[in-house]
Amino acid sequence: MSFWKNNRIQWRFQYLCLVITRWVVTKKMKEVKPLTDYILQYISLTEEETSYLVSKTHVKKYQKGDTLLLQGNICKTYYFILSGVTKTFYLDKAGLEHILTFCIENWWAADLGSLISQTPASYNIQCLENTSVLEIPFDAMENLYLKIPKLERFFRKIMERAYVATQNRITDAFSLSAKEQYTAFQKRYPQLEQRIPQYMVASYLGIQPQSLSRIRKKKEA
């Protein structure tokens, strides 16, 4: 009798473990769906490949004001934004903040130069809202490339696009007027102005907040 009782307890425990495992896997698959949907726009993945990719990612939630990366530290993680907003910026010797870019939902955040070369970062990355991200550690990316070679092509395309965007951003800073840069900002980040302070938009444009205020008034007139 004791044998059957112990067997039932063991069976129930194993069943409970299976249910919990399935629940955890299903929950994580739902959380990473924005990433897999994003990747599937570029390459196809088998169910096995998708499962392996998911196993190498970590979902993490940050509070407004939390820092993902500090200038001078080595960037060891690629962040995919599930919800929220981050800013990538550097502080000059006078302590003034210069914003390079904002990252919103379905965008990638990282200091690519630091991530690729594993050298100290030139930029900080900070959350401007409560932000959920999918983290892919640098070491995990190398394993992903070995296991799923087409992911290396995918990430190369993403990094190429980021490089081109940075080049265009530099070109715009030299060739466009402040008003034209503001218009370009609005096209690049629709609706973002409602989510961030005006002084950050001014920092991104490289102008004073008062100048941005005048530009906005003229556009609205």
Token output for 46: 């088998």
Distance of CA 186 to the CA centre of its chain: 20
Residue 213 lies in a domain: no
Task: Provide mean pLDDT across the span 52-71.
Answer: 95
The Cα–Cα gap between 113 and 82 comes to 23
CATH of the domain at 131: 2.60.120.10
pLDDT at 7: 62
pLDDT in tens, 141-189: 989 999 999 999 898 888 888 888 888 888 988 899 999 999 999 999 9
pTM of the full predicted structure?
0.83
Q: Report residue 30's pLDDT band, with 50, 70 and 90 as the boundaries.
A: confident
Q: Answer for the pair 58, 134: CB distance below 8 angstroms, yes or no.
A: yes
> In 3-state terms, what secondary structure has residue 135?
strand
Residue 219 lies in a domain: no
Residue 82 lies in a domain: yes
Residue 16 lies in a domain: yes
Residue 71 lies in a domain: yes
Domain count, the chain: 1
Q: Answer for the pair 50, 25: CB distance below 8 angstroms, yes or no.
A: no
> In 3-state terms, what secondary structure has residue 108?
strand
What is the Cβ-side half-sphere exposure of residue 215, based on CA atoms within 13 angstroms?
19
Residue 218 lies in a domain: no
Burial class (CB in 10 A: 0-12, 13-18, 19+), 18: exposed
Helices 178-188 + 149-175 axis angle, to 10: 150
Token output for 167: 């080049």
Residue 159 lies in a domain: yes
Neighbouring C-beta atoms of residue 10, cutoff 10 Å: 10
Q: Give the domain range for residue 145.
A: 7-207
Q: Which residues pair with 97 in a beta bridge?
A: 91
Helices 47-55 + 138-147 axis angle, to 10: 160
Q: How, if at all, do strands 131-137 and 77-83 pair?
A: antiparallel
Residue 2 lies in a domain: no
